[in-house]
Amino acid sequence: MDVPWAPGRLPLLGHVVAYTRDPLALLLQASRLGRLVRLDFPWMQSMMVNDPDLIEQILVTDHRSFIKDRFLQDLKRVLGDGLLTSEGDFWLRQRRLAQPAFHKDRVAGYARTMVDCATREVSRWRDGEERDVHEDMMRVTLEIVGKTLFGADVTDRAREVAEGLEAVMARYVDPVATGVPHWDKLPTPLNRRFHQGVQRLDRLVRDLIAEHRAGRQGDPGDLLSMYLAARDEDGTGMSDQQLRDEVLTLVLAGHETTAIALSWTWMLLSQHPHVAEKLHAELDAVLGGRAPTAADLPRLPYADRVIKESMRLYPPAWAIGREAARDVELAGVPIPKGTQLWIVQWALHRDGRWFEEPDRFDPDRWAGDLQRRIPKYAYFPFGGGPRMCIGHAFATMEAVLLLATFAQRFRMDLVAGHPLKPLPAITLRPKHGVRVRLVRRASLRPPEVRAP
């Protein structure tokens, strides 16, 4: 099998210029060229995987032949050996420790906290005002993850988290900064901001752990308490560094991805008023102005489809990277050890083989049996295999409940002229936020705001 090169390849520089100019456009074009497509970066051998069966081989059936790619290995500079970046037996132990916090019964118990946080947020909104709804979603999802997983109120630290995240994310847009060995040692402004951002996040998490240990926050059943009580066979507990890595991973992954999913959803609803009208009709019929609960979720199928379709077009976790841990074959093509493999949901979710009019926002495409008809790895916003996102049920429930809470009260109109551009870093966040003008809807009853 002859493996084509992605378009835009230059002598010596390969795809560095094309990727730096517009990575999403490059990868979308490359995805149409074949099951496997070569990418040329001078410092590493890379290949894009565009076939659901081959993706299943990498993530599931032959997953032991692949490890985290260089990008995720580089992310250890931020997250250490947390759930997202660790490997092997250590990862398995940490996953088992965290699993009870994400059991379906416990996740259902988080619903009231999620809705309470969203209700307090929406009570501050005013008819006709302009807001960056992405900033709002980041704040409310951070509050939720703090209270549900760690028993802590982190709302007063939202700005610190946002600034630390922004400094860290900037580095992961640049393929040179993350690809070239030891580039982070150079005294560039980008690197200085990056290290300052990591230090800021590090301080926040260590303070959170210290407060929990001092008994000022938390309850015996939250995830941080489970981590603190965990013991190895020899009775050794988790080190402070291990605690820091796991808590930071879950704080960032647990709020960033849901906030991004909702931000893109508000944009899409603003651009497609007929979809917003159908969503509002469902919410009015089912909820009648009251706050949603976990028990309402089966009765909100359209809201669920809106989130699913939004995550098809704008998957927060927009790509997965793997590295061949040994010499392997994919579709008869030899893949040498060390090859970087790119699995790009941004492109796969827009593939016309599986999705009719793939660029169209159409929640009703999920109303029938589409999920059963398409290959499993044609749509997988939470990854797959043993490394599938541990919080996928948490995130899905949170997204639908927050969508229902906010959309009952307000319609959002995009502010004319505000740039809307996805930024493909660790996640697919809106580069300039999502600025909207709020239009209050006629509610059947005012929201009940419970004290935090």
Mapping DSSP onto H, E and C, the string for the chain reads CCCCECCCCECCCECHHHHHHCHHHHHHHHHCCCCEEEEEECCEEEEEECCHHHHHHHHHHCHHHEEECHHHHHCHHHHCCCCCCCCHHHHHHHHHHHHHHHCHHHHHHCHHHHHHHHHHHHCCCCCCCEEEHHHHHHHHHHHHHHHHHHCCCCHHHHHHHHHHHHHHHHHCCCHHHHHCCCHHHCCCHHHHHHHHHHHHHHHHHHHHHHHHHCCCCCCCCCHHHHHHHCECCCCCECCHHHHHHHHHHHHHHHHHHHHHHHHHHHHHHHHCHHHHHHHHHHHHHHHCCCCCCHHHHHHCHHHHHHHHHHHHHCCCCCCEEEEECCCEEECCEEECCCCEEEECHHHHCCCCCCCCCCCCCCHHHHCCCHHHHCCHHHCCCCCCHHHCCCCHHHHHHHHHHHHHHHHHHEEEEECCCCCCCEEECCCEEECCCCEEEEEECCCCCCCCCCCC
pLDDT band at 184 (very low <50, low <70, confident <90, very high): confident
What integer pLDDT is reported at residue 382 of this predicted model? 96
Task: State yes or no: pLDDT of 325 exceeds 60.
Answer: yes
Average pLDDT, the chain: 91
Among 73-82, 120-129, 222-231, which is the least confidently predicted range? 222-231
Pick the CATH number of 16-440 from 2.160.10.10, 1.10.630.10, 3.40.630.10, 3.90.1150.170: 1.10.630.10
Task: State yes or no: pLDDT of 319 exceeds 60.
Answer: yes
Task: State yes or no: pLDDT of 444 exceeds 60.
Answer: no
Question: Once rounded to an integer, what is the mean pLDDT over residues 318-337?
Answer: 96
What integer pLDDT is reported at residue 447 of this predicted model? 57
Q: What is the pLDDT of residues 20-58, one digit of tens each?
A: 999 999 999 999 999 999 999 988 899 999 999 999 999
**Does residue 364 contact residue 36 with C-beta atoms inside 8 Å?**
no
What token pair was written down for 301? 């199928």
Would you mind telling me the total number of residues written for the chain in this entry?
A: 452
What integer pLDDT is reported at residue 102 of this predicted model? 87
pLDDT band at 229 (very low <50, low <70, confident <90, very high): confident
Task: State yes or no: pLDDT of 178 exceeds 80.
Answer: no
What token pair was written down for 394? 């948490």
Amino acid at 258: T
Question: Once rounded to an integer, what is the mean pLDDT over residues 315-321?
Answer: 96
Q: What is the pLDDT of residues 333-344, one digit of tens each?
A: 999 999 999 999
- Cα end-to-end distance, the chain, whole Å: 60
| Alpha carbons 245 and 257: distance in angstroms, whole number | 18
Among 125-129, 179-183, 237-241, 273-277, which is the least confidently predicted range? 179-183
Q: What is the pLDDT of residues 344-378, one digit of tens each?
A: 999 999 999 999 999 999 999 999 999 999 999 99
pLDDT band at 261 (very low <50, low <70, confident <90, very high): very high
Task: State yes or no: pLDDT of 448 exceeds 70.
Answer: no
Among 215-219, 257-261, 275-279, 348-352, which is the least confidently predicted range? 215-219
* Main-chain phi, psi angles of 77, to 5 degrees: -60, -25
What integer pLDDT is reported at residue 169 of this predicted model? 83
Sheet with 130-132, side-by-side order of all strands: 130-132, 435-440, 410-414
Q: What is the pLDDT of residues 266-300, one digit of tens each?
A: 999 999 999 999 999 999 999 999 999 999 999 99
Share of the chain above pLDDT 70, in %: 94
Question: Once rounded to an integer, what is the mean pLDDT over residues 196-202?
Answer: 91
What integer pLDDT is reported at residue 105 of this predicted model? 86
Task: State yes or no: pLDDT of 211 exceeds 90.
Answer: no
**Does residue 270 contact residue 414 with C-beta atoms inside 8 Å?**
yes
Task: State yes or no: pLDDT of 237 exceeds 80.
Answer: no
**Does residue 179 contact residue 70 with C-beta atoms inside 8 Å?**
yes
Task: State yes or no: pLDDT of 236 exceeds 90.
Answer: no
Given the structure tokens 């988790």, which residue do they identify?
Answer: 238
Task: State yes or no: pLDDT of 445 exceeds 60.
Answer: no
Share of the chain above pLDDT 90, in %: 66
Task: State yes or no: pLDDT of 254 exceeds 80.
Answer: yes
Which residues, 6+ apart, have CB-to-CB distance to 298 below 8 Å?
none
* Main-chain phi, psi angles of 329, to 5 degrees: -125, 140
What integer pLDDT is reported at residue 96 of this predicted model? 85
CA-nearest of 262, 41, 52 to 139 is: 262
Task: State yes or no: pLDDT of 219 exceeds 70.
Answer: no
Task: State yes or no: pLDDT of 121 exceeds 70.
Answer: yes
From residue 333, give the alpha-carbon distance in Å to each of 1, 37, 49, 54: 6, 11, 12, 11
Q: What is the pLDDT of residues 387-436, one digit of tens each?
A: 999 999 999 999 999 999 999 999 999 999 999 999 998 899 999 999 99
pLDDT band at 218 (very low <50, low <70, confident <90, very high): low
CA-nearest of 330, 356, 308 to 53 is: 330
| Alpha carbons 113 and 152: distance in angstroms, whole number | 12
